[in-house]
A = this chain, B = another copy of it.
Amino acid sequence: MSLRVALLGCGVVGTEVARLLTTQADELAARVGAPLELVGIAVRDLATPRDAVVDPALLTTDAEGLVERADVVIEVMGGIEPARSLLLRAIAGGAAVVTANKALLGEDGPTLYAAADAAGTDLYFEAAVAGAIPLVRPVRESLAGDRITRVLGIVNGTTNYVLDQMTTTGLGFAEAVAQAQELGYAEADPTADVEGFDAAAKAAILASLAFHTRVSVADVHREGISGVTADDVAWAGRTGHVIKLLAVAERLPDAQGTDGVVVRVHPALVPVEHPLAGVRGAFNAVFVQAEAAGELMFYGRGAGGAPTASAVLGDVVTVARHRVLGGKGPVESRYAELAVHPIGAARTRYQVHLRVADRPGVLAAVAAVFAQHGVSLQGVRQSGGSDEVRTAELLVITHGARESDLAATVADLRALEVVEDILSVLRVEGA
């Protein structure tokens, strides 16, 4: 008996999946316990030129019909629709599903998880977060007997490349993006990457798994990197930091003491000696903190056809084995179902960069505003100032503080007569 496999999508990842299904057919059959038969590849346009590894006889534009006759459905087409409808149809028909679709799972994962649980079928998605890095499986399974407290990582290669370039060359944001586009590291429309939508989708998926709680991309506090200036990058260097776009998901209480989850994506200062500071270019790295396991790090290629296809095939072997030998993957049960707190509940350190009048008493006035909101200071650095310009710059670094207190502090600073401008407010992570 062979298992019928349907492939939805034949772009870069789909082509690599087709290649591995062909070249590794014997090893895959041995690991599964039955041959995997690729019965069709759904595409939008039959006429598109394709790699020789793709058998033209398998191509079809009838994705719905293909899904109906498969035991295992692999979805690598991306986007919300028609991917969602096709996967729900596959699940309803009892097929096992493997998807790399982070946008869909970030937006509507809980609907798919619930459908799979109700149908008693497998839904696997290792490739949807951090590409080839085995991250979903450890979080869902290896740490199933532990309690995860925090997930922190670099999960978007495009922004990591752009920030890298700004750091090493001193380029501004727009120039660095233009260069990344020329080299093919950024899309013609880079919005999904640079505004943090891609990272937010992955953060939502990771938070859902880590905390057994429904987290959608709409629950994620999201700030992209388009506001990061060459000046921010230069100042980060002067204080021993680099700027990285981080995804952070934490379990913590809100001001009322209710345990919950906060999920956020934003640029942050990372100390140069922290392992995340050394993650370059298109690589991804994710720290997972658990009560018993302590701190774990996973590192590897976060994107690309072959790495993503590797993650897809690992999932295919598992769900196909379940078909042959029985069994089922972990259920994304909702028993924890923590509250999702707004960003105000987050706690971290901050660096506030101000332009202030250069006269006696200014530092005392600024420090008093922080103190009023219970935000304690780790250090203050002053620069500039002369008889001519009569302004100076202050770089204030706080100890750990609640985001809502910091926001109130910043609002009051803005109203302070001696504060001429708030140049930047950046979170500091990993210190």
Chain A residues proximal to chain B, CB less than 8 Å: 16, 20, 24, 27-28, 30-31, 33, 126, 132-134, 137-138, 141-147, 275, 278, 290-301, 304, 306-307, 309-318, 321-322, 325-328, 330-331, 333, 335-336
Contacts and interface: CB of A to CB of B under 8 A. Distances in A.
Q: How many copies does the complex hold?
A: 2
Contact of A132 (B27, B292, B321, B328): B292
A296 B133 contact: yes
A310 B132 contact: no
A275 B143 CA distance: 24
Given A134-B138, A294-B132, A333 B31 contact: yes
B292 A144 contact: no
A312 to B, nearest CB: 7
Contacts of A313: 144-146, 292
Contacts of A278: 275
A235 B57 CA distance: 62
A321 B322 CA distance: 13
A314 B30 contact: no
A310 B299 CA distance: 21
B27 A143 contact: no
Contacts of A138: 134, 137-138
Contacts of A307: 292-294
A141 B294 contact: no
Contact of A141 (B144, B310, B318): B318
Given A24-B147, A142-B134, A298-B298, A327 B330 contact: no
B301 A295 contact: yes
B31 A314 contact: no
B317 A292 contact: no
Contacts of A28: 145
B132 A137 contact: no
Contacts of A133: 296
* Ranked 9 nearest A-B pairs via Cβ: A327-B327, A145-B313, A134-B142, A134-B138, A292-B310, A132-B293, A296-B300, A293-B310, A326-B326
